[in-house]
A and B are shown apart, each in its own frame.
Chain A
């Protein structure tokens, strides 16, 4: 009893308790998680990340979030609420784009302010603003912003500089290990390597290769994509995701267009689809869209139209929202995979000849 009391007093009295920074596991977290986590941990803060999406988080999110927001943005609200009482600061960056000329979704910029307005009793939100696309912030500007942001955790400038350099190193390492080069892609196309989880092959079945295309926050979130990756794994399908695609192949495809795709993350999605439509090295493409996502509505339409003009590689577009049922999605993927298997399986084509009387 005495021991317990002591501990409690210690916890209250100890002013050197680590500052807790919360990061919601949604949207851009899947792209920049290594950068953010390393940065705050190196500064000496305790980083708390919201748990993987569950049904409870979704229910909270759908009740709280604005009706017309896209499904992924709604989930962000749920993740932020899951962190509400556990942290001192909530980290919601206002991110406008990381490259010149290209922008992100406007919701990434407005998200922090919408959260502050809709849930007034949230902990203080850290919202650094970085917009290389439209506001012409420089790379050095990003470092200066990070340096200023670090002041909240520690006043020591050397620690802050070291944290920034380590964070960018971590992010670079993450990108390097995530994005493959053209040679590896060719090896994958020749079935020499496997890029993701090992698919469960059945005997007498042809091994299928599918490009799984979508935003990183859909591909890597099993809840919002209804665990499509493990489903494909069970069907014995080897996948490559649009995140892993070599950048130079994507830029090559984008240069062919007469117009500019200026949504940054949409470039890799559309580029991947166009690359595989042209190279014909996969059996099929599955494109995951999120309902009422603005950029997706454009890229999805362009992809569908190009695929219809050049219909060798089948393209399946699946739209996800909070009401999507797992059974319906499963049936469609199963049917798609079956169709792909039969399309080249010579036995089936011969079968019709054998039936002839």
Chain B
């Protein structure tokens, strides 16, 4: 049965390599979401459900049309609507008359997680399946490394677009590398390739902006209109602490000495929001202070329209920004967000940051 999954930013590469590691040759790799994906998703979902729901639904319909049967989804209880995605997709796609099977990976219910995982790994035994998963999380680190290098090289490259071409070549290389020995060589290769193939302007003094917010809004270029690249094009180094590492990287999770960025952020956010309320509310608030302490210039906060937890952080962010003298731009994204609007606001924000940096006396 052909296996597939919705498109979620660069995490798609990680998933592809896990599936290939489990010797599933029948996987269908999803395409990047387009205008049609957004339209398909919003056509079949309720009016004010959050935008990631619509985008993922559109992506799932597209892969089913390409011939996929088994589709991987995730489900868990949280304060937000994420846990309803998979049941609701089942109802909606049943009504549309598609033939499919949703495989729910419930991370908080470990027994169910591994039974579903075994269902996916029908060609290999349990040890090999776990090994494939392990290779997946290790590759996830290197995908993150490529992202991080790309977002800083992209700002200072001399020939525009060079580092993006290099990055896309490297993503494929990471997916296709086999054997633990070769995989361990990857970080060195990534660093070298960027050094050799991208010519950078060493004189430039670029601004540094952190991007935080809701997971899907940050990692998926289709919903945030490729905000990282837009910022890079106006000469700003960006970074995001929001990746999938903290969930799937069991190796780092078991390491007691690992300093997690989000834990530091939550500590910072305690005076503003004391108790967990879902999403990345406390992390978004704390990240502003964390980036201030690191000496960065500003923070951009992204969240999809009607996201319940992030609206709370968006309401409190002005206070955090005022008290810590750190510029913050909150952007709400949905399927109708226009490119020109985002571009203008980013340029204005960067102009303000530049003036603040040069004058040193604030706005």
Q: Could you tell me which A residues sit within 8 Å of B by CB distance?
A: 66, 68-69, 94, 96, 101, 103, 105-107, 109-110, 113-114, 117-118, 129, 131, 134-135, 257-260, 262, 291-295, 297-298, 300-302, 304-305, 308-309, 319
**CB within 8 A of B77: which of A107, A110, A260, A294?**
A260
> At the interface with chain A, which of B84-92, B136-144, B169-177, B236-244?
B84-92
Report the minimal beta-carbon distance from A254 to chain B, rounded to whole angstroms: 13
Question: Which residues on A sit within 8 Å (CB–CB) of B315?
Answer: 66, 69, 114, 117-118
Question: Which residues on B sit within 8 Å (CB–CB) of A105?
Answer: 79, 308
Are A68 and B95 in contact, CB atoms less than 8 angstroms apart?
no
Question: Which residues on A sit within 8 Å (CB–CB) of B272?
Answer: 113, 117
Are B81 and A297 in contact, CB atoms less than 8 angstroms apart?
yes
Question: Which residues on B sit within 8 Å (CB–CB) of A69?
Answer: 311, 315
Q: List 8 A-B contacts (CB under 8 A).
A: A110-B281, A129-B274, A129-B275, A135-B275, A259-B75, A259-B86, A305-B91, A309-B95
Bound: A110/B309 CA distance, A: 8
A297-B306 CB under 8 A given contacts A109-B277, A117-B315, A118-B315: yes
Are A301 and B46 in contact, CB atoms less than 8 angstroms apart?
yes
Bound: A131/B276 CA distance, A: 10
Question: Which residues on A sit within 8 Å (CB–CB) of B305?
Answer: 68
Question: Which residues on A sit within 8 Å (CB–CB) of B276?
Answer: 134-135
A106-B309 CB under 8 A given contacts A101-B77, A258-B87, A302-B91: yes
Question: Which residues on B sit within 8 Å (CB–CB) of A305?
Answer: 91-92, 95
**CB within 8 A of B88: which of A109, A262, A295, A302?**
A302
Answer whether residue B314 sits at the interface, using C-beta atoms and an 8 A cutoff: yes
Residue of A whose beta carbon sits closest to that of B303: A68
Question: Which residues on B sit within 8 Å (CB–CB) of A262?
Answer: 77, 83
Report the minimal beta-carbon distance from A199 to chain B, rounded to whole angstroms: 32
Q: Could you tell me which B residues sit within 8 Å of A by CB distance?
A: 45-50, 75, 77, 79-81, 83-84, 86-88, 91-92, 95, 272-279, 281, 305-306, 308-309, 311-312, 314-316, 318-319, 332
Are A106 and B319 in contact, CB atoms less than 8 angstroms apart?
no
Question: Which residues on A sit within 8 Å (CB–CB) of B275?
Answer: 94, 96, 109, 129, 131, 135
Bound: A114/B279 CA distance, A: 16
A297-B47 CB under 8 A given contacts A68-B311, A113-B316: yes
Are B306 and A68 in contact, CB atoms less than 8 angstroms apart?
yes
Bound: A341/B108 CA distance, A: 50
Question: Which residues on B sit within 8 Å (CB–CB) of A103?
Answer: 77, 79
Report the minimal beta-carbon distance from B110 to chain A, rounded to whole angstroms: 17
Report the minimal beta-carbon distance from A273 to chain B, rounded to whole angstroms: 14
Report the minimal beta-carbon distance from A95 to chain B, rounded to whole angstroms: 11
Known: A107-B312, A109-B275. 20 other contacts (CB 8 A): A96-B275, A106-B281, A106-B309, A106-B312, A107-B308, A110-B277, A114-B312, A117-B315, A117-B318, A259-B86, A262-B77, A294-B306, A294-B308, A297-B46, A297-B47, A298-B49, A301-B46, A301-B91, A301-B92, A304-B46
Report the minimal beta-carbon distance from A272 to chain B, rounded to whole angstroms: 18
Question: Which residues on B sit within 8 Å (CB–CB) of A117?
Answer: 272, 315-316, 318-319
Are B312 and A110 in contact, CB atoms less than 8 angstroms apart?
yes
Are A319 and B47 in contact, CB atoms less than 8 angstroms apart?
yes
Report the minimal beta-carbon distance from B320 to chain A, rounded to whole angstroms: 8
Are B81 and A292 in contact, CB atoms less than 8 angstroms apart?
no
Report the minimal beta-carbon distance from B343 to chain A, rounded to whole angstroms: 21
Question: Which residues on B sit within 8 Å (CB–CB) of A107?
Answer: 308, 311-312
Report the minimal beta-carbon distance from B77 to chain A, rounded to whole angstroms: 5
**CB within 8 A of B49: which of A110, A131, A297?**
A297
Are B84 and A291 in contact, CB atoms less than 8 angstroms apart?
no
Question: Which residues on B sit within 8 Å (CB–CB) of A135?
Answer: 275-276
Question: Which residues on A sit within 8 Å (CB–CB) of B47?
Answer: 297, 319
Are A298 and B308 in contact, CB atoms less than 8 angstroms apart?
no
Question: Which residues on B sit within 8 Å (CB–CB) of A294?
Answer: 50, 80-81, 306, 308
Are A301 and B273 in contact, CB atoms less than 8 angstroms apart?
no
Question: Which residues on A sit within 8 Å (CB–CB) of B79?
Answer: 96, 103, 105-106, 109, 134
Residue of A whose beta carbon sits closest to that of B273: A113
Question: Which residues on A sit within 8 Å (CB–CB) of B318?
Answer: 117
Question: Which residues on A sit within 8 Å (CB–CB) of B88?
Answer: 298, 301-302
Are B95 and A308 in contact, CB atoms less than 8 angstroms apart?
yes
Bound: A107/B312 CA distance, A: 7
Q: Name which of A110, A260, A297, A305 has the most chain B CB atoms within 10 A of its CB.
A: A110
Bound: A186/B103 CA distance, A: 41
Residue of B whose beta carbon sits closest to that of A258: B87
Are B309 and A301 in contact, CB atoms less than 8 angstroms apart?
no
Report the minimal beta-carbon distance from A178 to chain B, rounded to whole angstroms: 27
**CB within 8 A of B87: which of A96, A114, A259, A308?**
A259
Residue of A whose beta carbon sits closest to that of B46: A301
Question: Which residues on A sit within 8 Å (CB–CB) of B84?
Answer: 259, 298
Question: Which residues on B sit within 8 Å (CB–CB) of A96?
Answer: 79, 275, 277
Bound: A60/B86 CA distance, A: 39
Bound: A304/B88 CA distance, A: 12
Report the minimal beta-carbon distance from B274 to chain A, rounded to whole angstroms: 7
Are B92 and A106 in contact, CB atoms less than 8 angstroms apart?
no
Bound: A80/B275 CA distance, A: 22
Residue of A whose beta carbon sits closest to that of B95: A305
Give the 6 A-B residue pairs with the shortest CB-CB distance, closest first. Answer: A110-B312, A259-B87, A301-B46, A109-B277, A106-B79, A106-B277
**CB within 8 A of B80: which of A106, A114, A131?**
A106
Residue of B whose beta carbon sits closest to that of A259: B87
Question: Which residues on A sit within 8 Å (CB–CB) of B50?
Answer: 294, 297
Question: Which residues on B sit within 8 Å (CB–CB) of A304?
Answer: 46
Question: Which residues on B sit within 8 Å (CB–CB) of A291?
Answer: 48
Are B314 and A66 in contact, CB atoms less than 8 angstroms apart?
yes
Are B46 and A66 in contact, CB atoms less than 8 angstroms apart?
no
Bound: A298/B46 CA distance, A: 8
Report the minimal beta-carbon distance from B271 to chain A, rounded to whole angstroms: 9
Question: Which residues on A sit within 8 Å (CB–CB) of B314?
Answer: 66, 68
Are A301 and B311 in contact, CB atoms less than 8 angstroms apart?
no
Report the minimal beta-carbon distance from A134 to chain B, rounded to whole angstroms: 7
Question: Which residues on B sit within 8 Å (CB–CB) of A106?
Answer: 79-80, 277-279, 281, 308-309, 312
Bound: A94/B81 CA distance, A: 19
Residue of A whose beta carbon sits closest to that of B92: A305
